[in-house]
Chain A
Amino acid sequence: GENVEQHPSTLSVQEGDSAVIKCTYSDSASNYFPWYKQELGKRPQLIIDIRSNVGEKKDQRIAVTLNKTAKHFSLHITETQPEDSAVYFCAAINAGGTSYGKLTFGQGTILTVHP
Chain B
Amino acid sequence: NAGVTQTPKFRVLKTGQSMTLLCAQDMNHEYMYWYRQDPGMGLRLIHYSVGEGTTAKGEVPDGYNVSRLKKQNFLLGLESAAPSQTSVYFCASSYKRGSGEQYFGPGTRLTVT
Contact = CB atoms under 8 A, between A and B. Distances in A.
Contacts of A42: 106
B90 A106 contact: no
Interface string A97-111: 000111101111000
Q: Looking at B50, B94, B97, B106, which has the most chain A CB atoms within 10 Å of its CB?
A: B94
B99 A102 contact: no
Interface stretch (A14-22, A44-52, A65-73, A75-83): A44-52
B104 A43 contact: yes
Interface in B22-42: 31, 33, 40-42
The B interface, classified by DSSP as helix, strand, loop or mixed, is loop
A9 B40 CA distance: 8
Contacts of B107: 43
A105 B101 contact: no
A40 B63 CA distance: 27
Contacts of B41: 107
Q: Is the interface on chain A under 10, 10 to 19, 20 to 34, or 35 or more residues?
A: 20 to 34
B61 interface: no
A100 B48 contact: yes
A113 interface: no
A102 B48 contact: yes
Interface of A: 6, 9, 32, 34, 42-46, 49, 89, 93, 95-96, 100-103, 105-108
Closest A-B pairs by Cβ, 6 of them: A95-B100, A43-B104, A101-B31, A32-B100, A107-B42, A101-B94
